[in-house]
């Protein structure tokens, strides 16, 4: 499966930046995500970015003075990232490594102050707990994670039942995952709820924030919506941001952002004894 993911996103790397540039919904979602990260990042944090893609997040974070080590399984994405680093002269801020998030024991750098994973990269894993188990070995005590994950319930998709599109409305609820088709290459993706993610992180993580992305406003594949209904779209995104941390909008969305602090179990025990 990992080889299929590599091929699919290597092909997509050729059009990835242009597609996002032309997609107003994706631009808005990434802006909201960046604002979320800046709430919890500390000035001198060293960041690990999983499934970093072409480096859109890394370039932004480097502009804010952060150092980021980027990993991705896709050779094409890493090549695009390398070109950006050279063109923008960011080698002092961004390093990179062709690596799956299943093999974080092979990282060139560690430990880190912060781990991020944006826009559902972790949904390619059939078992996110196996990814999260590695965090305790590469994250400093008191460090944080911000994970952007695709959940099983998206209100806009569920609403499709009123159009008779039952298959699309409930596709994310399949326990064995759904077959995605990226640039003609098929591979399974899996959907994880907030509860699934918290359970997979385990007791060593204290949940700080949960924020929905595109709950009230439409998901990114409806990219024509802002063009057809610009005033309505602005109205929906405004309310999306206002209610994004309120249940159920922080859970039932196209994506959610979950931020947690790493508190090693022994440290937790000592704190409770005191």
With pLDDT > 70 as the criterion, what percentage of the chain qualifies?
96
Task: Indicate the domain borders of the chain.
Answer: 2-154+191-266
Q: How confident is the model at residue 267 (pLDDT cuts 50, 70, 90)?
A: low
pLDDT attached to residue 268: 46
Q: Summarize the confidence of residues 122-150 as an average pLDDT.
A: 97
Give 30-76 pLDDT, tens digit per residue. Answer: 999 999 999 999 999 999 999 999 999 999 999 999 999 999 999 99
pLDDT attached to residue 3: 83
Give 97-116 pLDDT, tens digit per residue. Answer: 999 999 999 999 999 999 99
pLDDT attached to residue 270: 40
pLDDT attached to residue 63: 97
Q: How confident is the model at residue 157 (pLDDT cuts 50, 70, 90)?
A: very high
Q: How confident is the model at residue 255 (pLDDT cuts 50, 70, 90)?
A: very high
Q: Summarize the confidence of residues 245-258 as an average pLDDT.
A: 98
Give the count of alpha carbons within 13 A of 159, CB side only: 11
Beta strands in the chain (DSSP E): 46-50, 67-72, 94-98, 112-117, 139-149, 178-182, 185-189, 205-213, 255-262
Cβ(68)–Cβ(44) below 8 Å: no
Output the CA–CA distances (angstroms, integers) from residue 67 to 64, 94, 178, in the order listed: 9, 6, 35
CATH architecture of the domain with range 2-154+191-266:
3-Layer(aba) Sandwich (3.40)
pLDDT attached to residue 274: 41
Query: Which of 24, 241, 47, 51 lies closest to 150, judged by CA?
Result: 51
pLDDT attached to residue 166: 86
DSSP characters over 150-182: --S--HHHHGGGGGT-HHHHTGGG-TT-EEEEE
Give 61-73 pLDDT, tens digit per residue. Answer: 999 999 999 999 9
Q: Is pLDDT at 220 greater than 50 in this prediction?
A: yes
With pLDDT > 90 as the criterion, what percentage of the chain qualifies?
86
Q: How confident is the model at residue 272 (pLDDT cuts 50, 70, 90)?
A: very low
């Amino acid at each position: 499966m990992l080889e299929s993911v590599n091929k699919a996103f290597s092909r997509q790397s050729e059009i990835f930046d242009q597609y996002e540039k032309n997609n107003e919904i994706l631009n808005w979602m990434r802006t909201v995500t960046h604002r979320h990260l800046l709430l919890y990042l500390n000035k001198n944090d060293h960041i690990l970015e999983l499934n970093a893609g072409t480096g859109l997040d890394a370039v932004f974070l480097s502009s804010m003075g952060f150092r980021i080590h980027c990993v991705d399984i896709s050779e094409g994405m890493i090549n695009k990232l390398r070109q950006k680093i050279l063109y923008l002269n960011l080698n002092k801020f961004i390093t990179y490594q062709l690596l799956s998030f299943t093999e974080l024991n092979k990282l060139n750098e560690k430990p880190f102050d912060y781990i991020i994973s944006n826009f559902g990269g972790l949904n390619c894993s059939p078992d996110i707990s196996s990814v999260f188990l590695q965090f305790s070995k590469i994250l400093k005590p008191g460090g944080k994670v911000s994970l952007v994950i695709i959940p099983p319930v998206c209100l806009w998709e569920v609403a499709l039942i009123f159009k008779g599109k039952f298959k699309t409305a409930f596709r994310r609820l399949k326990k064995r995952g759904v077959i995605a088709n990226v640039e003609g290459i098929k591979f399974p993706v899996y959907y994880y709820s907030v509860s699934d993610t918290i359970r997979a992180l385990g007791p060593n993580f204290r949940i700080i924030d949960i924020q929905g992305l595109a709950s009230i406003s439409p998901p990114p594949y409806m990219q024509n919506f802002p063009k057809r209904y610009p005033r309505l779209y602005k109205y929906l995104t405004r309310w999306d941001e206002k209610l994004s941390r309120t249940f159920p909008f922080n859970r039932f969305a196209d994506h959610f952002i979950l931020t947690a602090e790493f508190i090693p179990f022994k440290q937790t025990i000592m704190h409770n004894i005191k």
